[in-house]
Every structure is written in structure tokens, then in C-alpha cells.
Chains A and B, each alone.
Chain A
Amino acid sequence: MNGLAELAHTLAPGLLYPTGGAILFAMGLYGLIRRHHLVLRILALNIMGSGVFMVLLGVAARGEGPPDPVAQALTLTGIVVAVSATAFALALVVHLTRLTGHAVMLPGPPDDDAPVEDISREEHHADGGPAAPHPDQDRNP
């Protein structure tokens, strides 16, 4: 029973949750490198952020007494900033898809010689204007 109590002490939330947060951060990093679809990359970034929040809150809950309110308030701020950044990133993904026809970031260096579509012309159709570009236009410019 003594050994069990010792184990419970070692696995206190103040150590367990920061470790879990570090694992989440590393997993998000792995996903960010491996996946190519931009929505999945945004999800990976959010998982990394959640790992950071878990580290902060886990460290805040260490020791005796009530948890550290400053770390908790910063996490609250972080969650709201994360949702704003995610919303902006998703708007960018939608816009990119509208311009290029895909939302995938392919591996390898960017192809600087690739023809660029005329963005200024298409922007005016972003609000659901009269004409969408011809489907073949983006593939065989």
C-alpha cells in the first residue's frame, strides 16, 4: 500500500498533465510536418496550442492550495486568441481555394516559375459575382 501511495504521489496532476501537454505538442508538431491539407495543418496547430494550455494549467495546479490564477487567466486569453487566429486562417484557406482550386500545401520548394493566375480579376467574384472562372482555366493556363 505504501508503494501505491508513492506512485500516486509521483503521478500527481502537476506532473501528469504537463507531460500529457508535452506529448500533445509533439504530436501536433508531427502532424503539422506530415499532413498537407491546410485544414489539417490548422487542426495540428490547434492541438499544439492545447498542449501548451495543458502544460500551463498543469503547472498552475502544482503544490498545495488553490491553483495559480495568473496562469489560468493567461490560458483563457490564449484560447480566445487561438479561436481568432483559427478563424482568420480558415478564411485564408477558403480564399486560397477560391483562387487556386485546392487547399493543399505540397512538399518541396515553391515553384517560382509556375504561372500565376490573375488574382485581381477573380477577387470581384468572391462575393458570388456573375462568373466563376472556367474549370479548365486553372489547370491548363
Chain B
Amino acid sequence: MSLLLVIFDLVLLAGIIGVAWRCLASTDLFRAVVLFITFGLLLALAWVRLEAPDIALAEAAIGAGITGALLLVTLERLRSIMAERHSGRPHTPPPDPSGPHALLRALHDPPPERHSFFPALIFALVVGSLLVTALWHQPQSTGLEPVVDAHMDVSGVDHPITAVLLNFRAYDTFLELAIVLIALLGAWSLGRHDLIPARPAPGPILPGTLRLLVPVAIVTGVYVLWAGSHAPGGAFQAGAILGAAGILLVLARPRQLPMAPGIPLRLGITAGVALFLLVGLYGLGAGHGFLGYADAWAYPLIILIEVAATLSIALTLVALFVAGRPAGDDA
């Protein structure tokens, strides 16, 4: 049995490394992005093998799904910008991919020059072998699992990873939500709401599928959020699933996209960080330390923070996909 598992591990790792290599060696950017999405899905399988179902959920939804959508829309934007510059007219429809070479430069990267081959290879080999040596000679340790296990009864939840994320190491999670917010502020600072250069949805299949998929995604997202207190799941996975549903909606209706109302959108985007900060300050005032909870209040506060964080993450991911701050509310 264990031999079969070893073979499975070896095949999976060979697949992951092979796909990553093809992705990095590809001259066609579209191909590279598709290979990267495949890479993310294979990684999710590896995380399941490493007994990390939470990470597998997050990798499949965020690493492969959302990142893939962001990369694909970026390629489409680059193509449209090149076409615009080429024709001198704004808002021309995206060119035929088999069009003139000048337009495709944005989506192609020629093979690298020969002279950088050996320096890069030697550098990567040295770094890689140093890492492998260090990892193979690491002393055995049980990690922090026994410590977390011993304190589970005061955490307020039954799932160790949620306990670590929202109680034991809540500071990390708070800063992480702040980083998500700052990334969006950075993207918004680059310009106003940008039209998504999506081609019109061909035929009735996309809207029809969407009508079925979005409710399922919302139910799944809420379930994953709720499950986070006692099973794999939680705010980040739920936020990613809801964000993916939002991205699908944005993609399927590029023509009649309603203008996002400025104030509620901003409130929703900052809800996670703001609520987290308020709870943290309350803990400081009540004598539990920054981001500390009273034992009896741990569960309701964690659920409250998770709901707000899910909302913020979902909205932020959709806003990052749309890119650019909403039109019509300039200072």
C-alpha cells in the first residue's frame, strides 16, 4: 500500500514539475496561463495528499481559479491595448489572433537568449541544491500540533486551522486582510474603472449555465463558511467561491454591467479589516490583549469576523478582476 502511495507521489510530483517547466518555457502567453491553471489544480491534489484539505480548497478556488481568471483577463487587456495603439482608434474589437505580428507581440515572448543560459542554470542549481540539503538534514520535530491541540478547548471552534487563523494567530490573518485591501487600493490608484474587453457571450449557453451555477456557488460558499468552525473550510475559501461567482457574473454581462454603488461597495470591501480591528481594540480594552477574546465570546466573535472577511474577500476579488476604481465618483 505504501509502495503504491510512493508511486503516486512520484508521478504527481513529476507531473507538477513537468507542467511548471512547460509553463515557464512556453513562448505563447495564453498557453503558459492555461498550463499555470493546470499546475494549480495538480497542486490542489498534492495538498490533499499532504493531509491539508483546507489548503487544497483554497488552492483550487484561489490559486487555480481566481489567479487564472486574473491572468486571462490581463492577456485580453494587453491584446486590446496593443490593438488600440496599432489602429489609433480606441475601443476597437479585439483582433483576430491570427492577425499581423505586431499585435501579437503583447502575447508572445521570444525564447530567451543563449548567453543567459549558463548563469541562470548555475544560480538555480546552487539555490535548489542548498534548499534540498537544508531540508533533508532538518532535525525531527513534532511542530506546533501538540500545543494547538492542548488549547483547542479555549479557541471557541473545533477545527484546528480555523482556531489558528482566527484565534491563536489572529494577528497574521488581520494583516493578511489588510494586504488584500492594500492590493485593491494599489490597483484602484492606477486609474478608473476599465472596460473589460470581453467578446459578447456567444449563444445562450453561458447565460443559461450561469443561472444554474451562481445559486449553487452561493450556497456552496455559505456552506463552506459555516463548515469552517468544525471542518475544512472557512472565510478564505468561501470568499474565493463567492468571488468566482461574482467574476462569472461580470464576465457574462459585459454590456449591461450595473455601475457598482460607491459607498456600499467601499463599506463591504473594508468590512473585514474594520470589524477585525474593532474586535481587536475591544479585546485590548477589555484586558484580553489586542485581538484576544473572552472565552465565552470567542465563537460568536470568530463567526462575525469570518462573515465580514468573506464578504470583503469576495468583493475585493471581483474588484481586482474588474480593476480600476469605480467610475463616476471622482474626487
Interface set of A (CB-CB < 8 Å, partner B): 4-5, 7-8, 11, 13, 15-20, 22-31, 33-37, 39-40, 42-44, 46-47, 50, 53-55, 57-63, 65-77, 79-88, 90-95, 97-98, 101-104, 107, 123, 125-135, 138
A93 to B73, CA, bound (A): 12
A55 touching B135, Cβ below 8 Å? yes
Contact present for B192 and A127 (CB under 8 Å): yes
CB pair B179–A84 under 8 Å, yes or no, is yes
B135–A74 touching, CB < 8 Å? no
Let me know if A94 and B132 touch, CB within 8 A. Answer: no
Contacts of B106 in A (CB 8 A): 97, 102-103
Inter-subunit contact A87/B187 (CB<8 Å): yes
Question: What CA separation (Å) do A105 and B135 show in the bound complex?
Answer: 34
Q: What are 10 sample pairs from A and B whose C-beta atoms fall under 8 A apart?
A: A15-B136, A40-B29, A43-B71, A47-B20, A50-B20, A60-B143, A68-B145, A85-B179, A97-B81, A97-B82
Bound: A125/B90 CA distance, A? 10
Residues of B within 8 A of A (CB): 2-3, 5-6, 9-10, 13, 16-17, 20-21, 23-26, 29, 32-33, 36, 39-40, 43, 46-47, 49-52, 54-55, 58-59, 62-63, 66-67, 70-71, 74-75, 77-78, 81-82, 84-91, 105-106, 108-109, 112-113, 116-117, 119-121, 123-125, 127-128, 131-132, 135-136, 138, 140-145, 148, 160-161, 163-165, 168-169, 172-173, 176, 179-180, 182-184, 186-187, 190-195, 234, 236, 313, 316-317, 320-321, 323-324, 327
Contact A70 B148 (CB under 8 A): yes
User: How far, in whole Å, are A79 and B56 apart by their CA atoms in the complex?
Assistant: 11
**Alpha-carbon gap, A79 to B58, bound state (A):** 7
Which residue from B59, B77, B127, B148 sits with its C-beta under 8 Å from A79? Answer: B59
Looking across the interface, which residue of chain B has its beta carbon closest to that of A94? B77
Tell me if A79 and B62 are in contact (CB < 8 A).
Answer: yes
State in angstroms the CA–CA spacing of A91 and B182 once bound together: 13
**Chain B residues with Cβ under 8 A from A132's Cβ?**
84-85, 88-90
Contact A34 B324 (CB under 8 A): no
Which residues on A sit within 8 Å (CB–CB) of B78?
A: 39, 93-94, 97, 103
Known A35-B112, A46-B36, A70-B143; contact A79-B63, beta-carbon cutoff 8 A:
yes
Neighbouring A residues of B32 by C-beta, 8 Å: 39-40, 43
CB of A71 within 8 A of CB of B127, answer: no
**In the bound complex, CA of A91 to CA of B325 (Å):** 12
Task: Work out how many contacts link A and B, with CB atoms closer than 8 A.
Answer: 315
A104 nearest CB across to chain B (Å): 7
Most B CB contacts (10 A, CB to CB) among A11, A27, A35, A36 go to A35
Query: Given A26-B124, A30-B24, A94-B78, A53 and B55 touching (CB < 8 A)?
Result: yes
Judge whether A80 and B124 touch: CB under 8 Å: no
Q: Is the CB of A39 within 8 A of B74?
A: yes
Min Cβ gap A128→B in Å is 5
Is B91 a contact of A128 with CB atoms below 8 Å? yes
Q: How far is the CB of A122 from chain B (nearest CB, A)?
A: 10
A25, A104, A132, most chain B CB atoms within 10 A: A132
Residues on the A chain within 8 Å of B176, using CB: 77, 80-81
Contact A17 to B128, CB < 8 A, known contacts A55-B135, A57-B55, A91-B190? no
Rounded to whole angstroms, the CA-CA distance of A55 and B13 in the bound complex is 13
Known contacts being A34-B112, A40-B29, A88-B187, is A63 close to B142, with CB within 8 Å? yes
Asked whether B131 lies within 8 Å of A22 as measured between CB atoms, the reply is yes
CB contacts (< 8 Å) of B190 on chain A: these are: 91-92, 94-95, 126
